[in-house]
Structure 1
């Protein structure tokens, strides 16, 4: 290889999702020559980030604090956004992961969240309040926000990646598509470049931002357990763990929880319900706190009202996968159906089961009719009607059946009745490479591997078993920026 080739890049970023672009932007702002390598062809680029809704969890002091990064909206004058403190963010991460997450990593992400959003806004990324998914309208017409994650970028995942590409072009970052990295080049224990088949690209630093292994059915079965090979891949089909494997081969340590993942209630009836770039997040089914969920036996099997769906949805895909046939049915009556998000439940091509009686609905779903009717009857009779129904708070309106529904219990009684079949959609894996708070990849002795960084879903340690809405994008923004600041 000639001298010109050796100096072709100072920083190589592997993976063109949100985290990878943040690393590339931060490095380019320092004057580094950056090449970003994307495995997918141009038409399928963007990683998992393309498939997101754009929810971005950050610390803020309320609407007045957020307004500087938000697009103008006449609804702002009729909006209440509760402050979201660093302590609340850290508590949410601690609670949903059962205390198994890396606390130092969590603190860095949380403390850097507000500045990361402002930084990206200064580069051109546009943000909005999530009126359609994170607010309920009160009797006086006021929009009341709930659930901690209030902000998204404009136009969701496609908008996010389009702006990232524009920023990269403006900063002089070279982006190469159809560039699958097959290995890492090392010299004297340091990473000095990457291999792409027979081709080599040398650099001073390599940032791995190529996601987890959720699109690798063999790895899913090996690390998550039998049955996971059948889960539906929500996002990119290109996140197969190749660079995690390459890093482990040169001595990197595994990080985070390799036995759990982000998996959600996902449409089970639409024929093209994997890696769908047209519908992206519209195949998610997150309205379950407003109704009940039953399996093929007509039985409920989890607490639909345990918490706001922001804090439960990422663990319920696994629970559905464990049911007979790996399928379940979200059930609503006419009242609760009217409250569901149109973005998901009025998706083009969706055809729910609809019936005028509970028994007819059971027959349409092909579940045990007597069992389902008994489930609905016992659920309705057990509701604590002394408490008012209020979807903006954990209202304590419970149904004291087994399993209990802790909040938002409302009788399934007003015809017509609706049922939406759901299965397990896998978003990303929680296990990856072990890194420090500056995104440096560590070896098995806990020492940084010179020249190697990781961010985004490749960097393990932040999540385990569960995940709060919007934490993935902000983690990619913060840790990608930190990687690019050193690379």
Structure 2
């Protein structure tokens, strides 16, 4: 049911139409299916129907799982290690425990989990470099939006309200959350009464004011990795803080990714960079391209390009990289790399200084140490006597054709957000649950210093379900 306006109270109001919100609304519908009096559910979406789904709609949605649909056994400890012990380890173990059941839930609604070859190793398997095929929904996050969204559209108990902004949570005299003040497409406000509310409308990536407040200077220079993120305006954080909610996650931390500047395509990330080199606009190397597998590195590349390289970088490689089977699948752009028979010609196609590029490449080539090049593992083939070092996959760039991609950094999500308990209940600084209020997905904070990837969509689905199950049991 879509846009059915009524003043009768809802049993559940879900704010957001991405993975977390869809999972929450559909899980609640299923948990209350046998009730004599049908539960009423509202799903609020800031975007119009054609753009619904927030960040989920545009992501490839890698899943850090094995073929038994179990989470990487190292992930919880990995999060703890990179966060310096700041992250909620029990939250991470809950993700591990709930992964299989949650994936079975989305599969039941038509989302197919596929395992597709990838040309370079990752650490999605027990923390060890592996060439195992990584998983993702066939069709990416859009498959989640369309399949779970269709199930809600076909449920007469569900009202989907597009182009609806959440302005403020309302509370009863005892502090229990009992509804949401919203603004519709006509600009008018309305209070929706609800017995429980789930905040599932993302972080503050689409709000330049909040980005500047929390991550600081040059926040305005960060493009969005996908158009749906523009609707992630920090509404969940703002409304929860007004009620005294606690926070979690690093508020000056972001997940940023290196993307192709030649295209407007969403999520045009360069994952397969480890066998080449990065240079900035001065044609200087600035990063150890082989310090680890791509999944533990690409976020740091993105952050460095934004923070210290004036949002401009270039990736350079040669025929040895092109020869890696399936390599071009690691560039998600719809434009192939620039290509030339000489470095001078490549520099011309990229619009950078040819003499400077030739000098940098010559210095890099001279520093390449001994060893056998093997792009399927951490091969230890490193540079010697050059800064920054390249720790693996250091091979001379000396074989035509030469290839390159111009890059900038795009923001994907913010680290800081609302703190919840293991049932998805929003809590105060004392750890006390705020009655009637839940949150899930990127609206909730978790990460510090780094994001061990392929779990963002997964944790959103999981905690959307857990919040709904708790709310249904309370009702």
TM-score computed with the length of structure 1 as normaliser: 0.85
Tell me how far 1:448 sits from its aligned partner: 1.1
- In structure 2, the gaps of 5 or more residues are 33-38, 123-128, 184-188
CA spacing shift, 1:397–1:333, aligned 2, 3 Å:
same
Partner residue of 1:215? 206
- The more displaced of 338-347 and 288-297 is 338-347
Tell me how far 1:337 sits from its aligned partner: 2.9
Partner residue of 2:150? 166
* Whole-angstrom CA distance in 2 between matches of 1:182 and 1:333: 52
Tell me how far 1:435 sits from its aligned partner: 1.2
Q: Is the 8 A contact 1:293 1:331 kept in 2?
A: yes
* Whole-angstrom CA distance in 2 between matches of 1:228 and 1:352: 28
CA spacing shift, 1:161–1:149, aligned 2, 3 Å:
farther
Tell me how far 1:99 sits from its aligned partner: 3.8
Aligned residue among 36, 43, 46 for 1:36: 43
* Whole-angstrom CA distance in 2 between matches of 1:147 and 1:92: 19
Any idea what SS the aligned residue of 1:391 has? Answer: coil
Tell me how far 1:173 sits from its aligned partner: 3.0
Q: Is the 8 A contact 1:183 1:243 kept in 2?
A: no
TM-score computed with the length of structure 2 as normaliser: 0.87
* Whole-angstrom CA distance in 2 between matches of 1:397 and 1:28: 54
Q: Is the 8 A contact 2:340 2:401 kept in 1?
A: yes
Tell me how far 1:351 sits from its aligned partner: 6.4
Partner residue of 2:114? 128
* Whole-angstrom CA distance in 1 between matches of 2:346 and 2:235: 45
* Whole-angstrom CA distance in 1 between matches of 2:207 and 2:298: 22
Q: Is the 8 A contact 2:75 2:452 kept in 1?
A: no
Any idea what SS the aligned residue of 2:399 has? Answer: coil
Partner residue of 1:15? 16
Any idea what SS the aligned residue of 2:111 has? Answer: coil
Partner residue of 1:410? 395
RMSD over equivalenced CA pairs, Å:
2.5
2:13 corresponds to 1:27:
no
Tell me how far 1:404 sits from its aligned partner: 1.3
Post-superposition CA distance 1:380-432 (Å, at most 9, x none): 2222332x322232221222321111112222111121221100110010111
Aligned residue among 41, 47, 61 for 1:54: 61
Partner residue of 1:140? none
2:439 corresponds to 1:446:
no
Q: Is the 8 A contact 1:315 1:467 kept in 2?
A: no
Tell me how far 1:184 sits from its aligned partner: 0.5
Tell me how far 1:84 sits from its aligned partner: 6.3
Any idea what SS the aligned residue of 1:266 has? Answer: strand
- In structure 1, the gaps of 5 or more residues are 67-82, 137-144, 273-278
Report 1:419-434 matches (<5 A).
419-434=404-419
2:91 corresponds to 1:105:
yes
CA spacing shift, 1:162–1:430, aligned 2, 3 Å:
same
Post-superposition CA distance 1:268-322 (Å, at most 9, x none): 233x3xxxxxx333x1111211211010111111111111111221232110013
